Structure 1
Amino acid sequence: MSGPRDFDFLHGDWQVRHRRRTDFLDPDSAWEEFGSTSRCVPLFDGAANLDEIDMPHLSAKGATLRLFERATGQWSLNWASSVTGTLYPPVLGRFTDGRGEFHGDDTYDGKEVRVRFVWSGVFANGARWEQAFSLDGGATWLTNWVMEFTRVAVSRAS
């Protein structure tokens, strides 16, 4: 069952390894890989959080505001880009058995797409995020971006 502490694992500093398609809608497009850093801070006693990801390879930063809606038991994930200054439509969903799945509608390259974010492989020092698009209302999906999160070790003064 999803709850307001689902994203507690994400709080803190991360190194992120990206693998993404050069064309999000072409299953035959090449993959590119690059690194980034991310920091996530809790809000509302864990029922919300805000992260910023710095992607020098893309000359871009992004931010995600995650909010837990107690009435529905769902999260809304709201992404903004420094490149466009746009807040994109949210994806909505929940965690079940340690896997978070979130869906929404958007446009990409002038086409209506169904969007899916998946959080999986969550443990104390790592997590995996995937983005997929569907052009047929969710009948088929094309994964176009994968991020592997590794927690930055905290150094303690002796």
Structure 2
Amino acid sequence: MSSPHDFDFLHGEWEVRHRRRTDFLDQDSGWEEFGAGSRCWSLFDGAANIDELDVPGQGWKGLTLRLFDRETRQWSLNWSSSRSGKLFPPVIGRFEGGRGEFHGDDTHEGKDVRVRFVWSGISATTARWEQAFSVDDGDTWVTNWSMDFSRPSGTPAP
């Protein structure tokens, strides 16, 4: 069952390797790859956190605010990018068996999409995040972005 400390693994400094589809809705589109740095800190005694992603090679930053709802025992993940300055609709979900899965609704290029975030491969020094979109209410998914997190050399996990 999810707890306010599910994202404790993410606190601290990370190097991040991105792999992103050139067209988020096309399973056959190509991929672009780029690096970034990330740092995450805890709030509300673990029941919230913020991370900032710095992508200097692309000239933008991203921010995720994660909030744990103690009544539903679910997390809301709220994303914003310096490119727009807008808060995207949240994805909601929980961790089970070391894997976090979160769903929400959004639009992409004028199309309604179902959004899925998955956190997996979690250890003191690694983690993986994936995003997928569905245009058919979850019958099929296009994984369109992944981030592989690793601790910078010599950086201890918090």
Give the whole-Å Cα distance in 2 for the aligned partners of 1:146 and 1:52. Answer: 16
Aligned to 1:110: 110
- C-alpha deviation, 1:56, in angstroms: 1.8
Q: Which runs of 5+ in 2 are unaligned?
A: none
Q: What is the total number of aligned residue pairs between the two structures?
A: 156
Query: Is residue 40–residue 51 contact of structure 2 (8 Å, CA) maintained in 1?
Result: yes
1:57 is displaced (CA, Å) by 2.7
C-alpha separation in 2, matches of 1:60 and 1:107: 21
Structure-1 separation of matches of 2:45 and 2:14: 21
TM normalised by structure 1 equals: 0.96
1:75 matched to which residue of 2? 75
Residues 113-146 of structure 1: CA deviation (Å, up to 9, x unaligned): 0000000000000100000000000111000000
Cα distance, 1:46–1:27 mapped onto 2, change above 3 Å: same
Distance between the aligned counterparts of 1:79 and 1:93, measured in 2? 15
Q: Which ranges of 4 or more aligned residues in structure 1 deviate by more than 3 Å? A: 153-156
Structure 1 residue runs of 5 or longer lacking an equivalent are: none
Aligned-partner residue type, residue 19 of structure 2: R
* Letter matched to residue 122 of structure 1: I
Task: Report the equivalent of 1:12.
Answer: 12
Q: Does 1:127 align with 2:93?
A: no
Q: Percent identity?
A: 69
Q: If the length of structure 2 is used for normalisation, what is the TM-score?
A: 0.96
Q: Give the match for residue 144 of structure 2.
A: 144
